[in-house]
């Protein structure tokens, strides 16, 4: 698609006076995209989230713009002080507890784009949960590239289970939903916490990816089919 945003920019429609592309794609391919998409003024990688307003200030009102692509080693980790625009229905919101991934599945580019796993401090996550709750959010959906890796990189090594218990104590939150659990790290302790805490939904997202050991090995997935079958209840072959 020839971007309609580019056409808007060309015609000067609305506020479309400059065109900025952000996120994973410019993080990985910004320099190539800069050559291929001359209509774009600026490509920003994942570290630039907190600087977007400054970049826009810099671009607006300039006749001659130096076209740039900015993407350093991925280190950005959001915190509760970052302003968010919640795009989900008002009762529900995602809460990202960590950024990046250290698992290195052979088919996945995310560690190269987002960097190594970096967990947010527990107090910071709880602060954001309180802010969301004060804004009317009843359900928080916990995300990260691998939620079960939460805390491994932090001092004292708090666990996902510790975090879930604290989140369950946030007064106005009624439901907690857990996404992206890595099967080999989905411990009995996490499952026990889910079972014990009334606010944590009886719902779990487990990207098992495959159940054949050779394929799992080729994918560089930890654990194996036996471990997955042990974790999942139900019929065995």
| Residues near ligand SF4 (CB under 6 A) | 101, 103-105, 108, 110-111, 145-146, 182
Distance, in Å, from the CA atom of 183 to the CA atom of 231, rounded to the nearest integer, reads 8
CB nearer to ligand SF4: give 20 or 108. 108
- Shortest separation between residue 171's beta carbon and ligand SF4, angstroms: 33
| 27 membership: H or E segment, kind and range | helix 24-36
CB nearer to ligand SF4: give 92 or 209. 209
- Shortest separation between residue 102's beta carbon and ligand SF4, angstroms: 8
| 30 membership: H or E segment, kind and range | helix 24-36
Q: Order of strands, edge to edge, in the sheet holding 175-178?
A: 92-96, 139-143, 175-178, 200-204
CB nearer to ligand SF4: give 101 or 200. 101
CB 225, CB 212: distance < 8 Å: yes
Write out the two tokens for 92: 């529900």
- Shortest separation between residue 163's beta carbon and ligand SF4, angstroms: 18
Q: Which of 213, 193, 177 is nearest to 228 (CA)?
A: 213
CB nearer to ligand SF4: give 18 or 184. 184
- Shortest separation between residue 30's beta carbon and ligand SF4, angstroms: 21
Distance, in Å, from the CA atom of 11 to the CA atom of 14, rounded to the nearest integer, reads 9
- Shortest separation between residue 191's beta carbon and ligand SF4, angstroms: 19
CB nearer to ligand SF4: give 16 or 111. 111
CB nearer to ligand SF4: give 18 or 110. 110
- Shortest separation between residue 180's beta carbon and ligand SF4, angstroms: 7
CB nearer to ligand SF4: give 137 or 144. 144
- Shortest separation between residue 234's beta carbon and ligand SF4, angstroms: 23
Q: DSSP code of 233? A: -
Q: Which long-range contacts (CB under 8 A, 24 or more apart) does 212-215 make?
A: none
Write out the two tokens for 54: 């400054």
* ∠ CA 143-144-148, rounded to 5°: 95
Distance, in Å, from the CA atom of 180 to the CA atom of 178, rounded to the nearest integer, reads 7
Block residue for tokens 């309609």: 4
């Amino acid at each position: 698609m020839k971007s309609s945003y580019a056409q808007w920019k060309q015609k000067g429609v609305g506020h479309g006076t400059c065109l900025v592309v952000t996120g994973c794609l410019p993080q990985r391919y910004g320099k190539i995209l800069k050559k291929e998409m001359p209509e774009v003024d600026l490509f920003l990688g994942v570290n630039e989230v907190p600087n977007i307003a400054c970049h826009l200030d810099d671009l607006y009102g300039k006749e001659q713009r130096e076209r740039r692509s900015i993407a350093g080693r991925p280190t950005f980790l959001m915190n509760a002080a970052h302003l968010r625009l919640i795009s989900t229905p008002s009762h529900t919101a995602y809460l990202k507890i960590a950024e990046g991934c250290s698992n290195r599945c052979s088919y996945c580019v995310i560690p190269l784009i987002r960097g190594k796993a970096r967990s947010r401090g527990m107090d910071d996550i709880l602060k954001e949960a309180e802010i969301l709750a004060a804004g009317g959010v009843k359900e928080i959906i916990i995300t990260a590239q691998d939620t079960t890796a939460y805390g491994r990189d932090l001092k004292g090594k708090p666990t996902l289970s510790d975090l879930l218990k604290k989140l369950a104590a946030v007064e106005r939150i009624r439901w907690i939903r857990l996404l992206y659990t890595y099967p080999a790290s989905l411990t009995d302790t996490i499952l026990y916490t889910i079972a014990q805490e009334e606010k944590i939904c009886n719902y779990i997202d487990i990207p098992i990816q495959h159940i054949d050991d050779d394929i799992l090995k080729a994918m560089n997935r930890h654990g194996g089919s036996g471990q997955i079958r042990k974790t999942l209840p139900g019929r065995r072959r």
